[in-house]
Amino acid sequence: MIDKEAALEVKKHGLDAIKSLSQALSACENKCAPEDFVRIKRAVFSMGRIETELLAIVYVAYPELDDLV
């Protein structure tokens, strides 16, 4: 099991990554060709994997760290 200190760091970096990817998508919205926006949007949806795969490890080990529960 991941230790709590590492879990907190993983959570922070995971949430920072999601925030950065969301900002990247917003930065190009209505500022690039529609087909490029679709490709960027598809790539940015990797943030869903951050939530379901990376942060899930943290939240299973330490449910109290999940702010959405």
- The 10s digit of each residue's pLDDT in 7-16 is 999 999 999 9
Alpha-carbon separation of residue 66 from 18, 25, 35, 49 (angstroms): 15, 25, 36, 16
- The number of domains in the chain is 1
What pLDDT score does 67 carry? 87
- 31, part of any domain: yes
pLDDT tens digits for range 24-59? 999 999 999 999 999 999 888 877 888 888 999 999
Q: Is the pLDDT of residue 69 over 80?
A: no
- Tell me if 16 is assigned to some domain: yes
Q: Answer whether residue 52 is part of any domain.
A: yes
Burial classification of residue 28, based on how many CB atoms lie within 10 Å of its CB (0-12 exposed, 13-18 middle, 19 or more buried): middle
Closest CA to 14 of 44, 58, 60: 58
The predicted pLDDT at position 62 comes to: 97
Task: Examine residue 69 and state whether it is found in any structural domain, yes or no.
Answer: no
List the structure tokens of 60. Answer: 């299973």
CA gap 18, 12 in Å, rounded: 10
Q: Check if the beta carbon of residue 66 is closer than 8 Å to that of residue 59.
A: yes
